[in-house]
């Protein structure tokens, strides 16, 4: 009995948010900082429930990405993880399908920063690797984020994107991409 449910952060109770945080701490083996969790809040979550147990989480939040002289409204995917013993059963794909529907309906493009492990997962779903230079709009101006180059994926929709062009994200505490 597995089901995927979507809900805005505002409609999730504390117990569910705590369960999601614990799941992601486990998935990322303690490498999930408070900032990383905070980045996953304020948008739409896709949650995979196996009965009363949460075995998958992903969310999409709004960010601005500067590209081609425009401030694009991006659906930025965060906090993607499936419990280790429940992988390769289609749960990750089901969560992404739910979030991609949100991205298609509400944003100019989808975007995310992928782990090395998950790059082929996103590529297989039609997400495109950004090939151009990445930057962040910091409080002191635009700064290159070269260490992120090669790990940023986008889901192009109607707005034309030059995958070899510059892509600049808005500012936030913690990891900017």
Q: Return the closest-CA partner of residue 164 out of 136, 143, 133.
A: 133
* Smallest distance from ligand COA to CB 27, Å: 5
Instruction: Identify residues 33-72 at the interface with ligand COA (CB under 6 A).
Output: none
Q: What is the DSSP letter of 171?
A: P
- Largest pairwise CA distance in the chain: 50
| CA 112 from centre of chain | 5
Return the number of the residue (49 or 121) whose C-beta is nearest ligand COA.
121
Q: How many helices (H) and strands (E) does the chain have?
A: 4, 10
Instruction: Identify residues 3-32 at the interface with ligand COA (CB under 6 A).
Output: 27
Does position 93 interact with ligand COA (CB under 6 A)? The reply is: yes
Does position 87 interact with ligand COA (CB under 6 A)? The reply is: yes
Instruction: Identify residues 112-141 at the interface with ligand COA (CB under 6 A).
Output: 114-115, 117-118, 120-121, 124
Does position 80 interact with ligand COA (CB under 6 A)? The reply is: yes
* CA angle in degrees (0–180, nearest 5) for 100-28-8: 40
Residues making contact with ligand COA (CB under 6 A): 27, 80-82, 87-93, 114-115, 117-118, 120-121, 124
């Amino acid at each position: 009995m597995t089901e995927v449910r979507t809900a805005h952060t505002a409609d999730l109770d504390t117990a569910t948010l705590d369960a999601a945080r614990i799941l992601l701490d486990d998935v990322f083996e303690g490498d999930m900082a408070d900032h990383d969790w905070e980045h996953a809040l304020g948008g739409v979550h896709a949650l995979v429930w196996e009965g009363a147990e949460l075995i998958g989480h992903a969310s999409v939040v709004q960010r601005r990405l500067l590209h081609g002289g425009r401030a694009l409204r991006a659906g930025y995917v965060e906090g993607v993880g499936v419990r280790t013993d429940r992988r390769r059963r289609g749960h990750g794909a089901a969560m992404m399908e739910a979030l991609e529907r949100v991205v298609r309906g509400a944003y100019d493009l989808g975007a995310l920063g992928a782990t090395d492990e998950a790059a082929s997962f996103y590529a297989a779903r039609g997400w495109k690797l950004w090939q151009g230079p990445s930057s962040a709009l910091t409080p002191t101006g635009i700064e290159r984020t070269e260490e992120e180059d090669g790990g940023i994926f986008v889901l192009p929709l109607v707005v034309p994107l030059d995958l070899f062009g510059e892509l600049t994200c808005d500012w936030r505490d913690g990891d900017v991409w």
